[in-house]
Amino acid sequence: MDNYTDIIKACLKGNRVAQNRLYQLFADKMYGMCLRYADNEDEAKDILQDGFIKVFLNLKQFNNKGSFEGWIRRIIANTALERFRDKNYLFAVNMETEYDANHKQYDHILSDLAAKDLLKLIQELSPQYRMVFNLYAVEGYSHKEICEKLNIKEGTSKSNLSRAREILKEKVKKYYNISVNWV
Amino acid sequence: MMGANFDQMDGVFRKQLRNYSQSAPDDIWGNIEQVLDNNKKAKRIIIYKIAAAVAAFAIIGSGYLYLSNNGESFDNNTVITENNLQQESENEIKILNQEKVNERIADNLENKKIEELDVENQKLIAEADFVEIKSYNSNNLMPVGSDTEQREKNLEKLSQKQIYIKSEGVELAIIDVRKQRVKSYLNSLPDIYNSYALNDLIEDKEPKNNKWILGGEFSPLYSYRYIAETGGDYNQDYYNSAENPIMSYTGGLNVQYKAIGRLTVQTGVYYTTMGQSFDYMSVYANTAYDLVAEEYKDRFINSYSITNSSGDVSFNSPYVIIDEELMRVSNLLDSKGVADVSDPIYNNLDAEIQQSFQYVEVPFLMRYKLIDKNVDFNIVGGFGANFLIGNDVYLKYAGNKEVIGETKGVNTINYNSILGFGIEYPIMDRINIRLEPSIKYYLNEINSSSSVESHPYSIGIYAGVNYSF
């Protein structure tokens, strides 16, 4: 069970030091999450910034019952979705670009390489595929929840997910030639 | 088979990316902080605007009341003037002290560290709202190492009020000890986490769960009445055209108890004046009245009865009162005959006749906190009992206010309903200021013996102070 009671109380009083401390505690993890939803690092920074402002302005609404990290995570995800909706992506356009294999960072340890490369693959998906894939595969939302969040039909959510998976599968085959049994 | 493969694929992504963390760029926190600061400032500006509006309203209302009462408050004016002079000289002394403080600090603190200050300088700092410390060793602020406690004590001792700490032009912190908290730390602190430990020390440990609140408040009132039924020859329009609202006031003490959660119950004792004025009345003084011998003065006294929506007013007076447009005045003594006011012996006073009712009001209110933040918003509702303690009809002219009679048959106990919307803002640890626009409406008619069913009401903006304990 998270115990952030003291720092939340201090933040609610407007204590800037406590707010900074809270930000530092979660910023890196949430930035990692923002990168999954964003086209690029600049957009991820914007989502992180807007998301944390919402966290501080709505902190009073956190009722201490669930996980505090989960609560922040939901706000960040919603901020990313709002941004996605504001951009008004009406159609799932296949926007994937050629991946430059030279960018692979071979000098990192394997797990780190894998995470960064998977992240890059997700970022290359078209925005709607990326949203659906993130929400379903990584965050664990159901199609019903996704269609409510994105204001799309459940069938669209399913077909977007299916298409996203196909694209990811093709990209992994093409660029990495990594022998994993789901490819 | 394909589904199972995809589940596995999702699993790989989830495992690698669900808790994926990457160092957030440094500039983001600065942007967030700026937005939070602006948000705070915006809230503060709204409060200041409301406070300024109410202060202006209170000043105008008080000025009106003062001007309308200045004929009979000569002695009070003298006292007020003396008080003002005293206040002014106190302010002057304060300013001089402040200048002295600044001089002393400039002279004595240059290139010195806080821990080197002597007792006298500490006292001077305590008297100043803002003190710039020219040179400051940040190690004194940062609780590091074994003597942390002593360093914190040094700082706390100095922070009797509010200290604005600068080190070689770099802003470090603003400490407001009246509110028992560090008002803000600025980014230039070398180690934000160490400073947080200091903040814990200075900050009030837990807000005390004060259940009781003692308050005082005052409001100018717009006072008038609503006529539900006329019951006689005249309709509501007739009364509305013949009468006017007046500006009155109320003030008193209240006690509140925080009952459950956001709900507070409140009662208190208030002194309230209400009333209305007659329109279209011409009042003439008979200039001969002052000149004749005492034994003949009685011959100039007229007896009148004036009717309005609140009841009948009967009085004896040397003045001649004529209703310009309506038939509300009866001259009760035929023997005095009809005065010819065109005769130069009569002097038109340009007077106003005003009914005034004074009450001791005991309200019973429920107060619900709609927004429970630094600035609270409350909705207030309830009932009040109003005990009549004064009932006067005034003749007001040329700065004079003369009681000429009273309204017959008005109820001695009245019940009103109260609805208000309040804003509270903390200025000190236990002290809040409050602004509360409120409307009060009498549930019963003011005069049961009158054929007119008239319900007085008042609209005010209450300004007050609360003390929690």
* pLDDT value at residue B170: 45
Distance to chain B for A17, nearest Cα, Å: 6
Q: Does ipTM come in above 0.90?
A: no
Q: DSSP for B337-379? A: ----TTSTTEEE---EEEEEEEEEEEEEEEEEEEE-SSSEEEE
> Which chain A residue is nearest to residue B196, measuring alpha carbons?
A17
| Interface contact flag, B12 A57, Cβ < 8 Å | no
CA A83 from chain centre, in angstroms, equals 12
- Cα A66 from Cα A27, distance rounded (Å): 20
* pLDDT value at residue B126: 38
More reliable by pLDDT, B363 or B376: B363
* pLDDT value at residue B167: 43
DSSP B132: B
pLDDT band at A4 (very low <50, low <70, confident <90, very high): confident
Asked if B10 contacts A137 with a C-beta cutoff of 8 angstroms, the reply is: yes
Of A4-13, B179-188, B377-386, the poorest mean pLDDT is in: B179-188
- The string of pLDDT tens digits covering residues B225-271 is 998 887 766 778 888 888 899 999 999 999 999 888 889 999 999 99
| Interface contact flag, B9 A168, Cβ < 8 Å | yes
- The string of pLDDT tens digits covering residues B108-163 is 444 333 333 333 444 444 333 333 333 333 444 433 344 455 545 544 444 434 44
Which among B5, B8, B13, B184 is the top mutation candidate for probing chain A, defined by the most A β-carbons within 10 Å of its own β-carbon?
Answer: B13
Percent of chain B beyond pLDDT 90?
Answer: 24
The pLDDT of residue B286 is above 50: yes
Strand duo B352-371 + B320-323: pairing: unpaired
- Cα B391 from Cα B380, distance rounded (Å): 29
| Nearest beta carbon to residue B32 from set A32, A53, A122 | A53
| Interface contact flag, B21 A28, Cβ < 8 Å | yes
Which among B5, B9, B142 is the top mutation candidate for probing chain A, defined by the most A β-carbons within 10 Å of its own β-carbon?
Answer: B9
- The string of pLDDT tens digits covering residues B179-197 is 434 444 433 333 333 333 3
More reliable by pLDDT, B459 or B46: B459
* pLDDT value at residue B243: 87
- Cα B313 from Cα B354, distance rounded (Å): 11
Nearest 5 degrees, angle CA B54-CA B57-CA B62?
125
- The string of pLDDT tens digits covering residues A118-129 is 888 888 888 888
Average pLDDT, stretch B402-426? Answer: 91
Asked if B230 contacts B239 with a C-beta cutoff of 8 angstroms, the reply is: yes
Lay out the sheet containing B346-348: strands in order across: B320-323, B281-286, B346-348
> Which chain A residue is nearest to residue B4, measuring alpha carbons?
A182
> Which chain A residue is nearest to residue B24, measuring alpha carbons?
A28
- The string of pLDDT tens digits covering residues A87-123 is 655 444 344 333 343 334 333 333 445 788 888 888 8
- Cα B275 from Cα B243, distance rounded (Å): 11
Mean pLDDT for chain B overall? 71
- Cα B172 from Cα B249, distance rounded (Å): 48
pLDDT band at B284 (very low <50, low <70, confident <90, very high): confident
Residues in contact with B398: Cβ distance below 8 Å, sequence separation at least 6, in sequence order: B71, B349, B350
> Which chain A residue is nearest to residue B38, measuring alpha carbons?
A53
The strand pairing partners of B320, in sequence order, are B284
* pLDDT value at residue B327: 61
The pLDDT of residue B425 is above 80: yes
The pLDDT of residue B210 is above 70: yes
Which residues of chain B neighbour A113 with C-beta distances below 8 Å? none
Closest C-alpha among B236, B165, B252 to residue B202: B165
Q: What is the pTM of this model?
A: 0.44
The answer to whether the Cα torsion of A86, A90, A92, A98 is positive or negative is negative
Which residues of chain B neighbour A36 with C-beta distances below 8 Å? 17, 20
With 0-12 / 13-18 / 19 or more C-beta atoms within 10 angstroms meaning exposed / middle / buried, residue B346 is buried
| Interface contact flag, B22 A36, Cβ < 8 Å | no
* pLDDT value at residue A28: 92
For residues A4, A6, A12, A15, the Cα torsion angle rounded to the nearest 10 degrees is -110
- Cα B215 from Cα B134, distance rounded (Å): 42
| Interface contact flag, B22 A35, Cβ < 8 Å | yes
